[in-house]
Amino acid sequence: MEIRADAGWRERALAVMPVGSSTNSKAPALLPEEPEVIVRGLGARVWDDRGREFIDYRCALGPITLGHADPRVDAAIRDQLRDGILFGHPHPLETTTAELFCSLVPGAEAARFLKTGGEALAAVIRIARAHTGRDRVVQIGYNGWLNSLAAGARVLPGATSASVPGVPAGLAALHHAVGWGDDEALDALFRAHGSEIALILVAADYPSVPSSAGFYRRLRERADAHGALLAYDEMVTGFRVALGGMSEASGVVPDLAVFGKGVANGMPLAVYCGRRDVLGVLDRGEVVVTSTYGGETLSLAAATTTMTIMRDERIPERLHERGAQLQNGLNDAFADAGAPFRLEGHPTCPQFVGEQEPIDGFLRAAFSHGLSLYRVVYVNAAHTAEDVAETIRRARSALAEVGR
Ligand SMILES: Cc1ncc(COP(=O)(O)O)c(C=O)c1O
């Protein structure tokens, strides 16, 4: 592919990289208003290659919970870096980070580390199959690319796929995608295959988070009645909706869970955790899950510092308060402008709900006014009340521009 001498980053990226980004949801779709690349972040703000500054509500699509370049987390990474990154034996941080994590998360009797949500979810599925001796898996919600195995599953947070090219039909037939809150579909599945279902794996539907406790209770009851396990995908909800994610927020504790984005303020770390007896398939060597980089110390140092700050400074409550200011202020602005969309869900991760074209039009205008938004809106602890007030003022200007 021929690249023009004056090609921008998007064009260059597409020439050398499928999708033009290693993360589908980060590839800019609303150019030229949207930044092609981000080169720097500090606290609640990011800058693109053209020097444009944005108040950032993408927060790396969730992981940045304390703020970009948080000095305490960065110091922990630098301190560890002086002693080395990765060794041929476990580092003490692997144990102490697991101890801290398990002290914070309900139901986490033991925990172990990987790098991404996708692989940790694959581990949980394998562990559940081995523990129960069953093959079928029910998937509710988005579980990252590795687990969009069932026809009809979420392939991205906002999209489903009727077929799953690249997944052998025999494997796809064992994965059942069920929509959020669809009790009828679940009942039908359990009637047909109750004794073969190893696991119900559920990722919260963001707009439904505030009213989700009843559904989680019914999932727990169904799993228990049929001898299946229940696992939560807490990649987004963990350390954001509450320290202990949906299990703390709903009061319904799963058998297994996967955390990631909120744990290490942007460093790559995923945690799979849960009942010690279920994870016993690993201790006994019946299931092998192992990765060279699981115990990588820079991420563990970042995680220990992040989790300690989150606990000691009650960060989820701060995110809740700031997120509510933002969600309410933006929804008032949308209503005043007669916009056919609003933000629904938990204040720490509300989602745009409404007509897609007007939403995109607003997002474009928002980028032009120095606001970086995504379909799920993430606050971090560095957003001040004044940042949010400024955001609402800019959003009103953007809406007025779209209206014209
Ligand atoms: C709910 C949920 N589960 C799983 C994943 C996959 O995690 P990763 O991208 O680290 O593989 C994501 C990523 O966006 C997610 O939002």
Residue 53, domain CATH: 3.90.1150.10
Q: State the average pLDDT over residues 31-39.
A: 98
The whole-number pLDDT of residue 198 equals 98
**22 C-alpha vs ligand 1 centroid, how far in Å?**
13
| Whether residue 181 is found in the same domain as residue 308 | yes
Residue 22 has pLDDT above 90, yes or no: yes
* Cα 140 to Cα 239: distance, rounded to the nearest angstrom: 20
| Whether residue 98 is found in the same domain as residue 140 | yes
Residue 1 has pLDDT above 70, yes or no: no
Query: Which among 268, 296, 312 is the end of a domain?
Result: 312
The whole-number pLDDT of residue 153 equals 73
| Whether residue 255 is found in the same domain as residue 371 | no
- Shortest-distance atom of ligand 1 to CA 121: 4
Structure token digits, residue 81? 């870096």
Q: State the average pLDDT over residues 253-269.
A: 97
* pLDDT band, residue 96 (cuts 50/70/90): very high
142 lines ligand 1 (CB under 6 A): yes
260 lines ligand 1 (CB under 6 A): yes
| Whether residue 209 is found in the same domain as residue 150 | yes
* pLDDT band, residue 204 (cuts 50/70/90): very high
Residue 23 has pLDDT above 90, yes or no: yes
| Whether residue 187 is found in the same domain as residue 304 | yes
Lowest mean pLDDT: which of 153-162, 201-210, 341-350?
Answer: 153-162
Residue 162 has pLDDT above 90, yes or no: no
- Shortest-distance atom of ligand 1 to CA 23: 9
235 lines ligand 1 (CB under 6 A): yes
- Shortest-distance atom of ligand 1 to CA 118: 11
* Cα 127 to Cα 144: distance, rounded to the nearest angstrom: 18
Q: Structurally, how many domains does the chain consist of?
A: 2
Residue 275 has pLDDT above 80, yes or no: yes
Q: State the average pLDDT over residues 139-166.
A: 77
Residue 179 lies in a domain: yes
On whether the CB atoms of residues 105 and 259 are closer than 8 A, the answer is yes
Q: How far apart, in Å, are the Cα atoms of 400 and each of 31, 211, 258?
A: 20, 33, 42
| Whether residue 238 is found in the same domain as residue 375 | no
Residue 64 lies in a domain: no
| Whether residue 252 is found in the same domain as residue 132 | yes
The domain of 278 spans 84-312
The whole-number pLDDT of residue 152 equals 74
The whole-number pLDDT of residue 149 equals 74
Among 232, 289, 290, which Cα is nearest to 256's?
232
| Whether residue 193 is found in the same domain as residue 207 | yes
**97 C-alpha vs ligand 1 centroid, how far in Å?**
21
Helices 297-312 and 92-104, interaxial angle, to 10°?
30
* pLDDT band, residue 165 (cuts 50/70/90): confident
The whole-number pLDDT of residue 157 equals 63
* Cα 200 to Cα 136: distance, rounded to the nearest angstrom: 9
329 lines ligand 1 (CB under 6 A): no
Residue 39 has pLDDT above 80, yes or no: yes
**60 C-alpha vs ligand 1 centroid, how far in Å?**
12
116 lines ligand 1 (CB under 6 A): yes
- Shortest-distance atom of ligand 1 to CA 120: 11
On whether the CB atoms of residues 277 and 127 are closer than 8 A, the answer is no
- Shortest-distance atom of ligand 1 to CA 261: 10
Query: Which among 268, 295, 312 is the end of a domain?
Result: 312
330-376 pLDDT per residue, tens: 999 999 999 999 999 999 999 999 999 999 999 999 999 999 999 99
- Shortest-distance atom of ligand 1 to CA 25: 14
Residue 330 lies in a domain: yes
Residue 197 lies in a domain: yes
Residue 186 lies in a domain: yes
| Whether residue 148 is found in the same domain as residue 289 | yes
- Shortest-distance atom of ligand 1 to CA 141: 1
Q: State the average pLDDT over residues 185-212.
A: 96
Name the 3-class secondary structure at 217.
helix
| Whether residue 54 is found in the same domain as residue 150 | no
Residue 230 has pLDDT above 80, yes or no: yes
Residue 38 lies in a domain: no
* pLDDT band, residue 148 (cuts 50/70/90): low
Helix, strand, coil in percent for the chain, rounding step 5: 45, 15, 40
Q: State the average pLDDT over residues 151-175.
A: 80
The whole-number pLDDT of residue 161 equals 75
The whole-number pLDDT of residue 90 equals 98
* pLDDT band, residue 147 (cuts 50/70/90): low
238-250 pLDDT per residue, tens: 999 999 999 999 9
Share of the chain above pLDDT 90, in %: 90
| Whether residue 327 is found in the same domain as residue 280 | no
Residue 272 lies in a domain: yes
Q: Which of 61, 114, 142 to mutate to test the pocket of ligand 1 (most atoms within 8 A of CB)?
A: 142
Q: State the average pLDDT over residues 141-158.
A: 74
248 lines ligand 1 (CB under 6 A): no
Q: State the average pLDDT over residues 369-394.
A: 98
On whether the CB atoms of residues 353 and 207 are closer than 8 A, the answer is yes
**389 C-alpha vs ligand 1 centroid, how far in Å?**
30
| Whether residue 290 is found in the same domain as residue 372 | no
294-305 pLDDT per residue, tens: 999 999 999 999
237 lines ligand 1 (CB under 6 A): no
* Cα 12 to Cα 238: distance, rounded to the nearest angstrom: 35
On whether the CB atoms of residues 230 and 255 are closer than 8 A, the answer is yes
CATH of the domain at 110: 3.40.640.10
233 lines ligand 1 (CB under 6 A): yes
Residue 65 lies in a domain: no
Query: Which among 294, 312, 330 is the end of a domain?
Result: 312
Residue 16 has pLDDT above 90, yes or no: yes
351 lines ligand 1 (CB under 6 A): no
The whole-number pLDDT of residue 163 equals 79
Q: Report which protein residue has its CA nearest ligand 1's atom 12.
A: 144
Q: Report which protein residue has its CA nearest ligand 1's atom 3.
A: 143
Look over the chain and give the mean of its residue pLDDT values, rounded to a whole number.
Answer: 95
203 lines ligand 1 (CB under 6 A): yes
Residue 221 has pLDDT above 70, yes or no: yes
299 lines ligand 1 (CB under 6 A): no
